[in-house]
Structures are given as C-alpha cells and as structure tokens.
Structure 1
C-alpha cells in the first residue's frame, strides 16, 4: 500500500516535515481556501504541489473535491457547479493528480457527540452517543418536528442524559455536533443549520440518490477520459442524522451507485471505520464485490459499546478485524498489480499533542502510531503470504 497522510494545508499545525520523517511518501489534501463550487485553477493546484514537493513528498490523493449543496439538491445553480467540477477534474489531471475523493453527505460531514472521550491510558478519542445526539436534536437545537423521528423511549433516555449535563457541557455538545467540515474551525450556528435543513425538507433518500447518480453520470466520463478515479466516501455515521437522507451507508447503497454508473472510474473510498459503524455491513464482502472500484483506503477501527454508542479505537483492535481486511487488500493488490493509497484515518489525541490545536481526530502522534501499526501489519502479512 502507498503510505499517505492527510494534511490540511499551510495552516495545519501538523507540518510536512513531521509527515516526511514518519515515513509517509504521499500527501492527501485539498484546497480548502477555495469556496465550495468554485474552480480549482491549475495555478492554485501547482502552488500546493510545489509546497508539498519542496518537502520531499507528493500530492497523491485529493480529499476532498467538495460537492456543492446545490448539486446534492439539484437546485439553484447546480448545472454550473457541475461544469465547474468537471473543469477542476481536468485541471487536477493536467497536474498529474488522478484520485479524487468526495462525499455526498448533506450539510454535515462526519458527526460525533464527544471529541475528547478519555481512554484508560489518558489519551482521547472520538465518540458517538445516540442519546446525546437525540438530546441535541430535540432539546438543544429544537429542530422542527424532530420529536417525530424518535420513539418516546428514545426521547426519555435522551432527556435523562441531558439532565446530567451542566450548561457548559450542553454548550460543548452543541459545538461538537455542529463542527462543520474538515479543514474548517468554524462551527455552524443554530440559525445556520436550521436554515440549511429547510433546504432538504422535500429531499428523501430516493431523491438524493437520483441527484447523486445524475452528478456521477455527468462527471464520471470526464474522470474516465482523464484517467482519474473518483472515490466516494461512505456516510459517517452510516445512518440519518437531523432527519437528513443518507445514501452511502450500506452494501445495498453501494450496489445502487455502482450499478447505475458502471464505469470503474466511479469508485469507493473504502473507509473501514464508517462502514463498520453499521454492524450489518460485511467489510470483507465489500472488498470481494467491488475490488475494481476501491481506489483509496481509510483504515481505522471502532468499538461499539452498545446499540447506541460507538467510539474510535486503536487501529489494530476493535470491531474491525484489521488483519483480515489488510490480508484481503494485499491479495487484491497482488492480483491487480496495483498499490492502493492508504492513510490511517483519525487517531487518538495523546498527551504530547494536547497543547497543539488540531482538527479532532487529526493530531500527529495518534495518526503516526496508526501508520506504524498498519505498516507493520502489512509487512507481516506480506511475508506470510510471500508477496
């Protein structure tokens, strides 16, 4: 596997020299300074490439070339935004960048209710608690009609959870859920999120899937012509939040997307953490079913503590049987004569990094620990398989 690390750009507190010295060769990044929907120019792409190359590294994967909300809703100026997306794809191809990650999650990217869950060793992890989220949705945000999305028992549990929180803890929960997008340190306000949710009032899973397939039918031929691979990131968590539709959560979702646009340029960012948060997903079967659609690897692990709580765990220990996953991936790469780019996704916040401002899940030490563990696992399995 190609060892890569995500870097949020020149403003990232994690420096390229740190990533270089850790042994990664590839950088996964994006032009976060460009507003969503605007064209990524060749000049802007090359300027970022030069910064990365001067550090002895290479920009190998885009994460993400974001999809404008109007494309997801098929409304407003969406046709122009699709044309802009095509131009950005061509410009990236002209600069030699061939793997493009994106997601189709409405409004919010990944969602957690606790960004600083304390592990037994004192390190901190990301956690999702459905009772906390329900409390946020119904009693803090007070989303209109949100009470209809939960049973009486679920609302009672959520209220009991919230009754134990101080005002500061309630404010922190609100901040955690509405963190915004990777690369940004700006939180949504209640007014902003409620206004954005109104835009999706008439969009269900079927309509959102229809809009995704239209988008893919437009941009996939461009990617194919450019020799590029599009890699959609699964929903995180893989179920509805805030009443929003989710359409990249299950094996059935993947089948629908890949069947509708059969080009192998229409592919998957295989994220073990996102997919495993739904225990019904068979991660090994997904590799078998979509071996020619997997273009980028996010390897991380989660532990489901109960039906309503899951948290990030160490990369090699959790509900994901990482040894089996890596073995299947190595066999696949040997079969196809490829080397898929991989990054350790998320990581614990260790004491050494707790005074450094980083995006939750993206501190340096926790990800480097994951990278080292995954590299060692890969080498051991490759030796066992004589690859």
Structure 2
C-alpha cells in the first residue's frame, strides 16, 4: 500500500514540509482553481508538480503528485445537456496532459450537485475532538423547512418528519443559517457563493433524471473516456456517493457493491476502476468493506481509509467521522484484504500491484482545533490516522504474520 496524502495546493494549511515529516510517499492533489469542464493545461499541471517537489527552503522534497483527486465531471456531462460533449472532449485532453506529465491515476465522482453532505462540520465528541457529522433529523429540517423542497417530507419516515419539525421550531435564525451553510458547503467550490435559490435550481434540473438514467449517463461517459485511459496506461477510479443514499430527491448510482459491479461490467476495461472509500460506503450498514475489497479488488485503483460511527440502528441514519480504528469498519480485516490483493497482483506481474491509499479525513485534535483547516482535513488528526493504519500495515506485512495467516487459510 502506497501511503499518500491529500494536498489542496499552496493555500493548504498543511505544507509540503508537513507531509514529508508525516512520512508520506506520494501526494494526491488537483487543480482546484481550474473551471469545471475546462482542459487542464500542461503548464498548470507542471506548476503543481513543482510546488509539491519543493520544501519551504527550496530543497527537493522527494515527493511527487501521484494521484489526481479530482478531475471533476461537469453537471452538463451528468445531465447530458448543454456543453456535455465538449466537456468530455476536454476531460480526455486533460487525461493526455496528465499522462504527458507522468500522472496515471485519476479519481472522480458522479454525484449530482453535492460532492458530499454533512450537517455539522465541527461536531464535538466526548474526548473534546471535533469532526464532521451527518444528523438525519437536522438534514430533514433543512430539506423540509429551510430549503422547502417540494415533496421533501415524503423522503423521510413519519417519526423523522415530526422530530425535524420540532427541531426546526427550536432553531433561531443564526442556527438555521449555520445548518444551511454546512449543507451547501458540499457544493463544489460553492461555500461562499451559492444561495438556497441556486441549490433549488440545480436540484430541479434532476427532476426528470431517475437513477437508472443517471447510471446510463455515467456508462456513456466511461464508454468515451475509458478506452483512451486504457490506451494511455492510466487508471480511472470512481469515488462512491457520500453519503451513499438518495438525498434531496437526487439520484445516486455509486452507493453499493451492486452499483459498482454493474458499472464495471458495463465498461469492462481494466482502466475503469474504483476508489474504495471505506468511510463513504461505511455509512451504510449493508456495505461489507473487507468483502468488497476481496470481491472487487482487481479494479480497485485507489483507497480512502477512514471510519464512521453509525448512530442509529437503521441501515442508514445519523453518523459521524470516527477515529480510523473506531467506527463500523473492521480496518484490520480491510487492510488484510488489500495486502492479499496486492500479493495476488504482484504474483501476476502487474505493474500496478501497489495500491495508493490515503488516510481520509480525521478528527480535529490538539493544535488542529485552532487551525480552521479544510473540514475533514486536519494535519494532526490525519497524521494520527496514518500512523494507526501504518501500524496495521507493518504488522500484517511482517513475514511471520503472513506465514501464520497463510497457514491458517490452508
């Protein structure tokens, strides 16, 4: 497993020096300043590579940009409207430029409107740490009473609707504004500029696009870009829905193992792959993450390792970002499955036997609490998670442990 770290560029409060001291082996980044749908110029790609390659004092960092997260897929492509064909052509040209610059792994998602959804960006846990949280009742209060989406109440059971009404009634104007801002933060690049009317307009554009049609649009997109990626020797990896259930009446198509299997089979090329995010998929009780890794591992090109604690007994409900070794996913079993897949690939002689992973998200702890970093991306909280994951990887990779595991299976 190749240990990587997400970096948002020079404005990121975690520096290149910090990443190097954390012991990461590679960097995950993107050109966030480029407009969605535009071609990523080689000059901008090389500029980001140069930024990653230097420490504060100008010395070489030894780090390289190894994974793109994300090369965004435009709303026009998802809806097959407007400039969608031109945007696909531009996406393909960006792939060529990335390959020309030596980058081969590209993560993307196909979530309509919202990249991710949380209701609290700084939820306090008993230790005093803070993390991101999705509260189902708060979300229902937002959807039904703040956004006032037509038919919103029909998306929730009667008990949740009643509880949401009571909670909304107890909110003052400041709390209502804060909740709306937290939800809207998941709009790509929109935390400072999108109004509720903008959100309503974007959601309304999906009224006539059910999940099966959105899935067809994803398959159409992959049918265009995957053959090029295969030809270039690149690997595309789709990130799951976050959270992995329908929200705001929007269709979801990458929430379960069955969803992934259907899309992998529809465009059956090795370049068409998976970003297996144990946190996003782990927000559903019926997603078996170690099992998914074992069954779909051949097409897993990128790993996000994090954990969530589901707070309700239902398949999906409220949850918060837990410590990397806490929550509902058995991270030891997960990493064991990854190491087995890597061993299988290495025996086959695959050049891509080592799967890049990053410690996804983290709780704000210690000095993180005063830094106001990008939500979910604290320096120390992620370092703690990486250290924990690294410990499991080191232990399970030890020859004596591997020998005992193989003997037990025999």
- The TM-score normalised by the length of structure 2 is 0.92
Distance 1:183 1:143, change over 3 A: closer
Paired position in structure 1 for 2:93: 87
Paired position in structure 2 for 1:66: 72
Paired position in structure 2 for 1:178: 184
8 Å CA contact 1:273–1:299 kept in 2: the answer is yes
Counterpart-to-counterpart distance in 2, 1:266 and 1:24: 26
8 Å CA contact 1:183–1:359 kept in 2: the answer is no
Counterpart-to-counterpart distance in 2, 1:344 and 1:189: 32
Q: Secondary structure at the match of 1:368?
A: helix
Q: Secondary structure at the match of 1:13?
A: coil
Which of 340, 347, 365 in structure 1 is aligned with 2:362? 347
Paired position in structure 2 for 1:316: 325
8 Å CA contact 1:232–1:267 kept in 2: the answer is yes
Deviation readout 1:154-192 (Å, 9 max, x if unpaired)? 211211222333332221111111103566653531011
Counterpart-to-counterpart distance in 2, 1:98 and 1:150: 42
Paired position in structure 2 for 1:7: 7
**What does 1:259-278 correspond to in 2, within 5 Å?**
259-278=265-284
Paired position in structure 2 for 1:49: 49
Does 2:206 align with 1:200?
A: yes
Deviation readout 1:125-172 (Å, 9 max, x if unpaired)? 111111110100010111123233234332112112223333322211
Paired position in structure 2 for 1:40: 40
Does 2:328 align with 1:326?
A: no
Counterpart-to-counterpart distance in 1, 2:290 and 2:355: 16
Larger displacement relative to structure 2 (98-107 or 196-205)? 196-205
8 Å CA contact 1:26–1:59 kept in 2: the answer is yes
Does 2:285 align with 1:279?
A: yes
Q: Secondary structure at the match of 1:155?
A: helix
8 Å CA contact 2:293–2:337 kept in 1: the answer is yes
Deviation readout 1:296-335 (Å, 9 max, x if unpaired)? 0100001111132111110011110000000111111111
8 Å CA contact 1:180–1:187 kept in 2: the answer is no
8 Å CA contact 1:238–1:246 kept in 2: the answer is yes
Which of 120, 125, 148 in structure 2 is aligned with 1:119? 125
Counterpart-to-counterpart distance in 2, 1:253 and 1:28: 25
Which of 219, 241, 266 in structure 2 is aligned with 1:235? 241
Q: Secondary structure at the match of 1:355?
A: helix
Q: Secondary structure at the match of 1:46?
A: helix
Q: Secondary structure at the match of 2:65?
A: strand
Paired position in structure 1 for 2:147: 141
Counterpart-to-counterpart distance in 1, 2:333 and 2:228: 35
Counterpart-to-counterpart distance in 2, 1:183 and 1:173: 18
Counterpart-to-counterpart distance in 2, 1:115 and 1:269: 23
Counterpart-to-counterpart distance in 1, 2:159 and 2:308: 26
Deviation readout 1:226-262 (Å, 9 max, x if unpaired)? 1000000000000011100000001111111011000
Paired position in structure 1 for 2:58: none
Paired position in structure 2 for 1:26: 26
Counterpart-to-counterpart distance in 2, 1:279 and 1:58: 36
Paired position in structure 2 for 1:359: 374
Does 2:301 align with 1:295?
A: yes
Which of 79, 83, 89 in structure 2 is aligned with 1:77? 83
Deviation readout 1:49-76 (Å, 9 max, x if unpaired)? 1111123111000000000000000111
- The TM-score normalised by the length of structure 1 is 0.97
8 Å CA contact 2:366–2:380 kept in 1: the answer is no
Counterpart-to-counterpart distance in 2, 1:187 and 1:275: 29
Counterpart-to-counterpart distance in 2, 1:218 and 1:378: 37
Which of 106, 116, 121 in structure 2 is aligned with 1:100? 106
Q: Secondary structure at the match of 1:351?
A: coil
Q: CA deviation at 1:356?
A: 1.6
Counterpart-to-counterpart distance in 1, 2:335 and 2:178: 37
Counterpart-to-counterpart distance in 2, 1:295 and 1:58: 18
Does 2:190 align with 1:190?
A: no
Counterpart-to-counterpart distance in 1, 2:51 and 2:336: 35
Counterpart-to-counterpart distance in 2, 1:153 and 1:367: 37
Task: Name structure 1 gaps, 5 residues minimum.
Answer: none
Paired position in structure 2 for 1:373: 388
